[in-house]
Amino acid sequence: MPKRTDIHRILIIGAGPIIISQACEFDYSGTQACKALREEGYEVVLVNSNPATIMTDPDTADRTYIEPVTPQAVSLIIEKERPDALLPTLGGQTGLNTAVEVARMGVLEKYNVELIGASIEAIQKAEDRDRFRRAMGRIGLRIPRSGIATTMEEAHRIAGEIGYPIIVRPSFTLGGTGGGVAYNPEDLEVWAKAGIDASLIHQVMLEESVLGWKEYELEVMRDRNDNVCIICSIENLDPMGVHTGDSITVAPAQTLTDREYQSMRDGAIAIMREIGVDTGGSNVQFAIHPKTGEMVVVEMNPRVSRSSALASKATGYPIAKIAAKLAVGYTLDEIRNDITGETMAAFEPTLDYCVVKIPRWTFEKFPETEDLLTTAMRSVGETMAIGRTFKEALQKALRSLEIGRHGLGADGRDGVERGERAETPLTVTEIEQKLAVPNSQRLFYLRLALKAGLDLEAIHRLTGIDPWFLHQIQQIVAFEDDLTGHQGGHLDREALWSAKRMGFSDVQIAHLTARDEDTVAERRRELGIRPVYKLVDTCAAEFRALTPYYYSTYEEENEARVSDRKKVMILGGGPNRIGQGIEFDYCCVHASFALRKMGIESIMVNSNPETVSTDYDTSDKLYFEPLTKEDVLHIVETERPLGIIVQFGGQTPLNLAVPLARAGVRILGTQPESIDRAEDRELFQAMLHKLGLEQPPNGTATSVAEAAKVAERIGYPVIVRPSYVLGGRAMKIVYDQADLENFTRLAILASPGHPVLIDKFLEDAVELDVDAISDGRATIIGGIMEHIEEAGIHSGDSACVLPPYSIDADLAAEVAAATKSMAAELGVVGLMNVQYAIKDRRLYVLEVNPRASRTVPFVSKATGVPLAKLATRVMLGSTLAELGLTGETVPSHVSVKEAVLPFDRFPGVDTLLGPEMKSTGEVMGIDVDFGRAYAKAQLGAGQHLPVAGTVFLSVEDRDKPALVPVARQLAEIGFAIVATRGTSEFLAASGIANRPINKVSSGRPHVVDAIKNQEIQLVINTGSGRREQTQRDGFEIRRAVLKYRVPYATTLAGAKAMTRGIAALKERALSVRPLQEYF
Amino acid sequence: MMKALLALEDGRTFSCRSFTGPGEAAGEVVFNTGMSGYQEVLTDPSYRGQMVTMTYPLIGNYGVNPEDVESDRIQVAAFLTREYQAHPSNWRAERSLADYLKSQHVMGVDDLDTRALTRHIRNAGAMRAVVSTTDLDPGALVAKARGIPSMVGLDLARVVTSQAIYRWEEGRSEPLKASETVLDQRLWRHRGRRPSVVAFDFGIKFNILRCLETRGCEILVVPAQTGAETVRALEPDGIFLSNGPGDPEPVVYAVETIRELLGYRPIFGICLGHQLLGLALGGRTYKLKFGHRGINQPVKNLVTGRVEITSQNHGFAVDLDSLDRSAVEVTHINLNDNTLEGFCRQDLGLLAIQYHPEAGPGPHDAHYLFAEFRSLIAGR
């Protein structure tokens, strides 16, 4: 059937900000869909609040709304754009939920918008656990016994019937928020309550436990002719009990016979039909009893998902693109397989390699949370590796993780996972505990367990991990001994070849044979042991592949097709983590686009399956490889690019700049020495001194004693941090010596071999972020952003506004001049980011990064200047003047960026902001004035700003005077005010009517009771408070607010901005405007 | 593990090793792209005379069990893999793949760049080869490879077919009783209650018999050389022509038998059976460059317009243009290369399918064809 001609304009809903369980995979799928639909001649209207996406680039869709992904905003867009159809299956759970709500509001019906891809009926059948259970019953598939509860009484009754342990799953949530395992009625009390709260429809499903069963996923496609194909099978290494997003997964399934696989396939197809997904991709999860083979259905998602992104990258089959084409009427046999160019999309990809995905966790960011994995997802990113064997892929994935490991241990870093350098052996009991409870380091404990002599049977009993995987791991670990046998002796061909085929990195081999990495590499070259590159081609070489999508392995035949064109290699950023996310991928993708436009071959290297950069047609060539010196050098040796771009992918490629340059690789743009000069404190200070610029008083220390001396000299409070770390990891403001000593110890650990930096903390300063571009002679300011939260809050966690609102022209000129002089001095060619603080009209330079920053996409969207593309051209020799960039663009509209924080995923963690970055993503609000732009940013970030109701105020003493005007404005808008005693008295004395309310520690009813009773609509609560009681009181409030989704501000600056936003909303209702109309 | 060498007739060699001890094997090298189902592949009689390489690199993961067999022995000449898995894990596994191969003296090879081999076959075509642990001299092995008979013109059905007629009942074969010496309609035990089918064994897969039985048929399996008069004596309700190895053209005796039986009863042919039907109708067959072997082949049913993902294993095909299109209706084509995958002749009650609707291994999308055969029988 050909495409539909009765629809012309299609609305796509994006997933909004990056949060845990919704990362760049939805930019990847959404971008693919936009491209696919426009290719077919449809007009695409897009809504997404996330500026760091390729999908929100003004030329990806026809009409791009960077607006909150909320039912209200989407309704306004529908009213304005009158699309013929809405495609809701590409924006993750957020997109799907928003579409369901818009439909429920009657908006689709009113404006005659057809839902394509999946009907409301199908979505609800898949998502409502009770309906899903009944649907499975109709097709003869078993799902774990279960019951639905909306009250605690029901929960206890059902649990009594099914028995413990029992799984608690809230309906309609993301990544299983609020889900968990209850082993007894006491646990149930906790989990069921949390689940009912977290569920959008206040309902939980209690489910028979299938803990320890083998877990599988199938990615399924269906077209309107009822043709169904399985794109990929995935087997989880971690058995049931760990969220699939937190599981190490392998494609294809490894331990199923064809009979079992086919019956799972039959099940998946029957489910697609029963649920009624008309067209597109879905994900179906199964559990299999390891001893009997009994199969149960776990769940299905009637949309593209994280797993479908993984499946696309693992197979080469572009699920989102095909899903979009199916949604407009094509059938699978009408769509060509882009990879082969000759066969059709109606087939099932087959792999001739093994794919391993490992999640990337950031427990180190949330020390208050225990490192354990449950049915609620905690990881913030993932890495994927491809090898010809599982062992090779596993080790490649581990060294791609950016956790400082070079494979499955044996890299001289053992013990680091326990926060210690020394290799104090763990007791067997300790190891057993770490095996029994899933955690982010379990793979390394598996190795330790084998080293400690635990047998596989015992390990299997403790972990539930299938013996097949355990044997693979055992083979890797056993091979270590083969290598240690070569200490001091000759490294022969046989040993090296076998090691490389098992995925051992040169660093591991060096460690095991007591050599250094370069010596091992040298020896390999002597022996001619080099990796070859094989193709990901969807068909296991049955057909010739057109797209050059490669992975490395150690085999006989090399398939790399090296052209003699001019080419440039771009290093990506590896797995998403806090501090390094989609923003850097955005820059890398832009670099690739710019190169292709210049007629230069673009070669992308990255290991993150969620991204646009690893889409098979983003670059001329894609190497899906770990970003390590060894792996990158191998590609360089094969491709011989004219240069390599390291400044776009964040810290990961930057860390490789010096070693790569030393190995003779040409780094394009700003040179590694300049990067070093900006990172090295002493060199940096000398430079500032030379330029007559100032920085806060500071010093460096390599020991705790030295640190104390420095702090003494510059005076407390001080900020302590290690050098060479992105995202403010291990960074803290300390107020006294005891704190300082504790923290310095940790900081030394986080960045071994590098000094700890100690800066004077400038309290109440205004902080600025500046992005600039330079061609080596001229420097142009890309944008100046003013942070809304005061200095001391990590720039990645702070909201910011462009253009700035509180600095005058003189200061702005000073900032520009300082930026330009530093760019010139550092010889910046490409992008640069500077952070400044202004206190008492004095400008202090906080930090200079001669590379793309996290804010580049935001600035580009706010100003309409594609900084990363321009920077790419500059790096290849163009001047800014040639590119037509002659001055700063200061837009007349206002753009606000707000950070999105993952606190709801980490119970027990305080939501206060600090110098350590904790946000996972960001949203953008764009409008004619600050209040409206800020309000949109808040709505986009999930803060449902009220325009009436009661506000709760409780601030530190030093914030009280400044609170008065905020309180007054809120009162004028019509808010009733309640406040804790001190704040209440202060406000009363200032003539602001309010009602006092108890703190938690002052008896009941108290403020948390009021929050639970929904008597409070807005919370302003500051108190980085150093007094323990204040902190605890504040903590209770902040956690309650999070749980009951009450909008809140934890800084006074934030409160002021929020009040302006509320005032703006009160004055005139939200309105929407596409990006294309701003420029 | 022993060092081994694989030598192809065109002179290319691959280093590898044996995981089943010393040995030497010869045959036509073909590749199979299925990621599961190696036990079914090993025991599929259509692979007789062939060394099969699996494109999926990890083989042996789930061991070997007593159920997933397609015949009573391993049929492949040798099994070529990238990484043999010595520690199987599956609740049904009873032994390792290496044990299984060794027990039937079939060579298992790993540590081979199977992708390179596959690409070579894709470009140069399926070809004769020898793999050996005893002779590692490339020149000598290549010469040996050139000495083995070519697949073209080879009647292997004669080699793999059963020597005697047997029943298939309750999922297993059952020899005729000593008393059952007269081959006539009295052999049918369920006459009138279940359709009786005579199945020609050119190398029949058990799963075909299982599927026929599941659809209610009573089955007598007859040797490939069985003549038309024997079939007529049995007075079946339907005739089935099985899959099998080798080139269809030299199987002249079967083509003649089929020609005599055209129109007598509904006939369903699968794979080699399909090709023989094509020949019987006056068509031609030819050797594909490297064949279709895998479980992901898309076939379009031209009657319904729907796509089936199919299990395939064939090196020869019926030339679409050689069929009399005024009489023959083309019902199925391969979406990858547009080759003929199925045809029918309503007037004669013929149903011919090139791929494997019985799966084993592979998807169950085409199971409906057994029901169609049953309806054909019922329609008479």
CB spacing of A256 vs B85 below 8 angstroms: no
How distant is the Cα of A258 from the closest Cα of chain B, in angstroms? 5
pLDDT at residue number A725: 58
How many residues are there in chain B? 380
How many whole angstroms separate alpha carbon A472 and alpha carbon A497? 18
Q: Collect all residues of chain B within an 8 Å Cβ-Cβ radius of residue A227.
A: 306-307
How many whole angstroms separate alpha carbon A215 and alpha carbon A210? 10
Q: Let me know if A184 is exposed, middle or buried by CB neighbors in 10 A (0-12, 13-18, 19+).
A: exposed
Q: Directed axis angle between helix A129-138 and helix A120-127, to 10°?
A: 90
pLDDT at residue number A422: 46
The shortest CB-CB distance from A258 to any of B31, B37, B116 is to B37
How many whole angstroms separate alpha carbon A739 and alpha carbon A1024? 15
CB spacing of B56 vs A253 below 8 angstroms: no
Q: Are strands A214-222 and A228-236 parallel, antiparallel or unpaired?
A: antiparallel
| Distances B260 to A965, B282, B319, B348 between C-alpha atoms, Å | 103, 13, 22, 12
How many whole angstroms separate alpha carbon A126 and alpha carbon A274? 10
Give the H or E element holding residue B287: strand B285-301
B55 at A interface, C-beta within 8 A: yes
Per the CB < 8 A criterion, the answer to whether A1036 and A1008 are in contact is yes
What sign for the dihedral angle of Cα A909, A911, A912, A913? positive
How many whole angstroms separate alpha carbon A69 and alpha carbon A54? 16
Per the CB < 8 A criterion, the answer to whether A910 and A1048 are in contact is no
The predicted-structure confidence for A672-708, as pLDDT tens digits, reads as follows 999 889 988 789 999 999 999 999 998 888 889 999 9
Average pLDDT of chain B to the nearest whole number:
97
Q: Collect all residues of chain A within an 8 Å Cβ-Cβ radius of residue B295.
A: 258, 348
Which pLDDT band holds residue A1029 (cuts at 50, 70, 90)? low
pLDDT at residue number A730: 64
The shortest CB-CB distance from B91 to any of A266, A292, A344 is to A292
Q: Enumerate helices (H) and strands (E) in chain B, giving the number of each.
A: 10, 20
How distant is the Cα of A789 from the closest Cα of chain B, in angstroms? 54
A-interface mutation test, from B3, B70, B89, most A Cβ less than 10 A away = B89
pLDDT at residue number A375: 83
The predicted-structure confidence for A395-436, as pLDDT tens digits, reads as follows 999 999 999 999 999 998 876 545 444 456 788 999 999 999
B-interface mutation test, from A259, A389, A476, most B Cβ less than 10 A away = A259
Which pLDDT band holds residue A1040 (cuts at 50, 70, 90)? confident
What three-state secondary structure class fits A1000?
helix
How distant is the Cα of B332 from the closest Cα of chain A, in angstroms? 13
Find the mean pLDDT for residues B18-33.
Answer: 98
Which pLDDT band holds residue A529 (cuts at 50, 70, 90)? very high
Q: Which residues contact A587 (CB under 8 A, 6 or more apart)?
A: A648, A649, A831, A852, A856, A857, A868
The predicted-structure confidence for A530-580, as pLDDT tens digits, reads as follows 999 999 999 999 999 998 999 999 999 999 999 999 999 999 999 999 989
Residue type, A54: I
pLDDT of A757 above 90:
no
Which pLDDT band holds residue B180 (cuts at 50, 70, 90)? very high
Which pLDDT band holds residue A791 (cuts at 50, 70, 90)? confident
Q: Collect all residues of chain A within an 8 Å Cβ-Cβ radius of residue B31.
A: 540-542
Residue type, A402: E
What three-state secondary structure class fits A127?
helix
pLDDT of A743 above 80:
yes
Could you tell me which of A467, A462, A468 has the C-alpha nearest to residue A449? A462
The token duo for A809 is 């022209």
B-interface mutation test, from A257, A261, A535, most B Cβ less than 10 A away = A257
Could you tell me which of A309, A319, A297, A248 has the C-alpha nearest to residue A463? A248
Scan residues 266-325 of B and list those with Cβ closer than 8 Å to A: 294-298, 300, 305-307, 309
How many whole angstroms separate alpha carbon A345 and alpha carbon A768? 50
**What is the percent of chain B with per-residue pLDDT over 70, rounded to a whole number?**
100
Q: Collect all residues of chain B within an 8 Å Cβ-Cβ radius of residue A265.
A: 363-364
How many whole angstroms separate alpha carbon A418 and alpha carbon A75? 50
pLDDT at residue number A420: 47
User: Which range in A554-563, A733-742, A1017-1026 is most confidently predicted, on average pLDDT?
Assistant: A554-563
pLDDT of A194 above 90:
no
How distant is the Cα of A27 from the closest Cα of chain B, in angstroms? 30
pLDDT of A241 above 50:
yes
pLDDT at residue number A1076: 95
Of the listed ranges A128-132, A533-537, B129-133, B245-249, the least confidently predicted one is A128-132
pLDDT at residue number A845: 96
Q: Collect all residues of chain A within an 8 Å Cβ-Cβ radius of residue B307.
A: 225, 227, 229, 331-333, 346
pLDDT of A176 above 80:
no
Per the CB < 8 A criterion, the answer to whether B28 and B129 are in contact is yes
The predicted-structure confidence for B241-257, as pLDDT tens digits, reads as follows 999 999 999 999 999 99
Give the H or E element holding residue A181: strand A180-182
Q: Collect all residues of chain A within an 8 Å Cβ-Cβ radius of residue B298.
A: 333, 343-344, 346-347
Q: Collect all residues of chain A within an 8 Å Cβ-Cβ radius of residue B300.
A: 333, 346
pLDDT of A769 above 90:
yes
Which residues of B belong to the active site? 271, 356, 358
- Rg of the Cα trace of chain B? 21
Per the CB < 8 A criterion, the answer to whether B19 and B1 are in contact is yes
How many whole angstroms separate alpha carbon B314 and alpha carbon A386? 31
Query: pLDDT: is A910 or A522 the higher one?
Result: A522
B334 at A interface, C-beta within 8 A: no
Find the mean pLDDT for residues A149-153.
Answer: 93
Residue A465: CB atoms within 10 Å = 24
State phi, psi for B26 to the nearest 5 degrees. -140, 155
Query: pLDDT: is A791 or A474 the higher one?
Result: A474
CB spacing of A261 vs B83 below 8 angstroms: no
How many whole angstroms separate alpha carbon A806 and alpha carbon A809? 10
The shortest CB-CB distance from A555 to any of B85, B113, B122 is to B113
Which residues sit opposite B308 in a β-bridge? B299
Q: Collect all residues of chain B within an 8 Å Cβ-Cβ radius of residue A259.
A: 67-68, 361
Find the mean pLDDT for residues B259-265.
Answer: 97
The owner of tokens 């193709």 is: A535
pLDDT of A173 above 70:
no
pLDDT of A344 above 70:
yes
Could you tell me which of A972, A1038, A932 has the C-alpha nearest to residue A73? A932
DSSP A290: T
How many whole angstroms separate alpha carbon A189 and alpha carbon A262? 40
The beta strands (E) that lie in chain B are given as 2-8, 13-18, 24-32, 50-54, 58-59, 78-80, 83-84, 107-110, 127-132, 166-169, 172-175, 196-201, 218-223, 238-241, 267-270, 285-301, 307-318, 329-334, 340-345, 350-353
The shortest CB-CB distance from B89 to any of A342, A346, A467 is to A467
Per the CB < 8 A criterion, the answer to whether A40 and A328 are in contact is yes
How many whole angstroms separate alpha carbon A321 and alpha carbon A244? 24
How many whole angstroms separate alpha carbon A553 and alpha carbon A537? 15
CB spacing of B119 vs A390 below 8 angstroms: no
CB spacing of B336 vs A227 below 8 angstroms: no
pLDDT at residue number A424: 64
Q: Collect all residues of chain B within an 8 Å Cβ-Cβ radius of residue A231.
A: none
CB spacing of B68 vs A259 below 8 angstroms: yes
The token duo for A662 is 């030393």
The shortest CB-CB distance from A255 to any of B31, B39, B90 is to B90
Per the CB < 8 A criterion, the answer to whether A261 and B36 are in contact is yes
The token duo for A229 is 């194909």
Could you tell me where the DSSP H helices lie in A59-150? Answer: 71-81, 92-104, 107-110, 120-127, 129-138
DSSP-derived secondary structure for B150-215: PSTT---HHHHS-SS-EEEETTEEEEPPTT--S-SGGG-SSTTTS-EEEEEESS--HHHHHHHHHT
How many whole angstroms separate alpha carbon A289 and alpha carbon A790? 55
pLDDT at residue number A792: 79
pLDDT at residue number A416: 55
How many whole angstroms separate alpha carbon A930 and alpha carbon B16? 69
A-interface mutation test, from B8, B54, B58, B100, most A Cβ less than 10 A away = B58
The token duo for A697 is 């008083």
The beta strands (E) that lie in A825-910 are given as 829-839, 842-849, 894-900
CB spacing of A293 vs B114 below 8 angstroms: no
Give the H or E element holding residue B78: strand B78-80
How many whole angstroms separate alpha carbon A720 and alpha carbon A774? 31
Query: pLDDT: is A348 or A944 the higher one?
Result: A348
Write the ipTM: 0.98
Per the CB < 8 A criterion, the answer to whether B177 and B231 are in contact is no
Could you tell me where the DSSP H helices lie in A833-893? Answer: 856-863, 867-875
Residue A104: CB atoms within 10 Å = 11
pLDDT at residue number A578: 92
How distant is the Cα of B30 from the closest Cα of chain A, in angstroms? 11
CB spacing of B55 vs A227 below 8 angstroms: no
CB spacing of B68 vs A258 below 8 angstroms: yes
Q: Which residues contact A605 (CB under 8 A, 6 or more apart)?
A: A569, A570, A571, A572, A623, A625, A627, A631, A632, A635
Per the CB < 8 A criterion, the answer to whether A793 and A786 are in contact is no
First to last CA, chain A: 40
Which pLDDT band holds residue A181 (cuts at 50, 70, 90)? confident
pLDDT at residue number A1028: 58
Residue type, A1010: A
Query: pLDDT: is A914 or A323 the higher one?
Result: A323
The token duo for B258 is 């089929």
Per the CB < 8 A criterion, the answer to whether A9 and A45 are in contact is yes
Per the CB < 8 A criterion, the answer to whether A667 and A660 are in contact is yes
How distant is the Cα of B335 from the closest Cα of chain A, in angstroms? 7
| Cis peptide, bond prior to residue A71, ω within 30 of zero | no
Query: pLDDT: is A191 or B371 the higher one?
Result: B371
Average pLDDT of chain A to the nearest whole number:
93
pLDDT of A175 above 80:
no
How distant is the Cα of B57 from the closest Cα of chain A, in angstroms? 6
The shortest CB-CB distance from B87 to any of A226, A348, A468 is to A468
Find the mean pLDDT for residues A46-67.
Answer: 97
Residue type, A161: E
The predicted-structure confidence for A347-360, as pLDDT tens digits, reads as follows 999 999 999 999 99
HSE (side-chain half, CA atoms, 13 Å) at A431: 21
Scan residues 7-46 of B and list those with Cβ closer than 8 Å to A: 14-15, 31, 33-37, 39-40
**What is the percent of chain A with per-residue pLDDT over 70, rounded to a whole number?**
96
Nearest CA in chain B to A349: B296
Per the CB < 8 A criterion, the answer to whether A247 and A440 are in contact is no
Find the mean pLDDT for residues A825-835.
Answer: 97
pTM for the structure as a whole: 0.95
The shortest CB-CB distance from B300 to any of A256, A261, A333 is to A333
Scan residues 201-220 of B and list those with Cβ closer than 8 Å to A: none
The shortest CB-CB distance from B57 to any of A331, A352, A539 is to A352
Scan residues 76-95 of B and list those with Cβ closer than 8 Å to A: 82-83, 85, 87-92
The owner of tokens 């081994």 is: B4
Nearest CA in chain A to B34: A350
Which pLDDT band holds residue A793 (cuts at 50, 70, 90)? confident
pLDDT of B87 above 90:
yes
pLDDT at residue number A177: 62
CB spacing of A225 vs B88 below 8 angstroms: no
HSE (side-chain half, CA atoms, 13 Å) at A388: 28
What sign for the dihedral angle of Cα A744, A750, A752, A755? negative
Nearest CA in chain B to A290: B91
The predicted-structure confidence for A713-734, as pLDDT tens digits, reads as follows 999 999 888 776 544 456 788 8
